[in-house]
């Protein structure tokens, strides 16, 4: 049965759309509108009233990183979902890390820049978010020293998940000057045809 991915492409659903394109998984995209996320029908699929949601037969799953790790485990090939428990754990590590160390700060800036009317803008919150980002990006820059991807030479679900979070740095024009390895890695990941296809 074809899997279903719920959520507009211009939302965190783009993360799940990227992975299905990357892995060539047949899928149905249900671009449920944000205004319909609290409808009783949608809440039956995802009680959080958020996107993305994955429906795979009778199986329902929310949380973008969980969806992608599940799809990578089920359909990943040629090292995209690594073989060893240690390398798999590294994929989980970077996925959690992106969500806990980077996502909120990037989102604070993104929302303020593009979705907040002038009278509601919060320059202090933006300044605080921008102040927080060099620490995790410094860590990532170090981890990427001398390697093309997080686990070495192969693009894995760790790269896809983390780059999908870090992609928000692009519209806000984050200055990666002090973090050249992050800049090069992010550009490498976001130049993949599957990333571009997911955003159409």
x/- binding map, residues 62-91, to ligand GSH, per CB under 6 A?
A: -xx---------------------------
Q: To 10 degrees, what angle do helices 64-75 and 157-166 make? A: 150
Only one residue has tokens 């060539």, namely: 24
Rule CB under 6 A: say whether 101 interacts with ligand GSH.
no
How many positions of this chain bind ligand GSH (CB under 6 A)? 10
Rule CB under 6 A: say whether 164 interacts with ligand GSH.
no
Check: CB of residue 6 under 8 Å from CB of residue 53.
yes
What are the residues facing 62 on neighbouring strands? 53
Stretch that binds ligand GSH, among 47-55, 130-138, 141-149, 171-179 (CB under 6 A): 47-55
> Whose Cβ is closer to ligand GSH: residue 37's or residue 106's?
37
- The H or E element that residue 6 is part of is strand 3-6
Q: Which two tokens stand for residue 188?
A: 């490498």
Stretch that binds ligand GSH, among 46-54, 72-80, 134-142, 175-183 (CB under 6 A): 46-54
DSSP-derived 3-state class of residue 153 = coil
Rule CB under 6 A: say whether 37 interacts with ligand GSH.
yes
Could you list the beta-strand ranges (E) of the chain: 3-6, 27-30, 53-56, 59-62
Give min distance, CB of 51 to ligand GSH, in A: 4
Check: CB of residue 194 under 8 Å from CB of residue 157.
no
Which of 29, 30, 31, 49 contacts ligand GSH by CB under 6 A?
A: 49
Residues in touch with ligand GSH (CB under 6 A): 11-12, 34, 37, 49-52, 63-64
């Amino acid at each position: 049965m074809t899997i279903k991915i719920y959520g507009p492409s211009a939302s965190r659903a783009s993360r799940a759309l990227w992975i299905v394109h990357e892995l060539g998984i047949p899928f149905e995209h249900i671009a449920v509108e944000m205004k319909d996320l609290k409808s009783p029908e949608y809440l039956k699929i995802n009680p959080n009233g958020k996107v993305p949601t994955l429906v795979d037969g009778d199986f329902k799953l929310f949380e973008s990183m969980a969806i992608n790790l599940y799809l990578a485990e089920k359909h990943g090939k040629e090292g995209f979902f690594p073989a060893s428990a240690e390398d798999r754990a590294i994929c989980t590590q970077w996925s959690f890390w992106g969500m806990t160390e980077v996502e909120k700060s990037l989102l604070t800036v993104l929302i303020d820049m593009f979705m907040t009317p002038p009278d509601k803008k919060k320059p202090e919150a933006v300044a605080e978010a921008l102040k927080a980002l060099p620490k995790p990006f410094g860590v990532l820059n170090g981890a990427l020293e001398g390697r093309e991807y997080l686990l070495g030479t192969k693009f894995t679900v760790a790269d896809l998940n983390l780059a999908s979070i870090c992609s928000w740095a692009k519209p806000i024009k984050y200055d990666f000057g002090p973090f050249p390895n992050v800049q090069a890695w992010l550009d490498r990941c976001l130049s993949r045809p599957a990333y571009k296809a997911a955003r159409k």
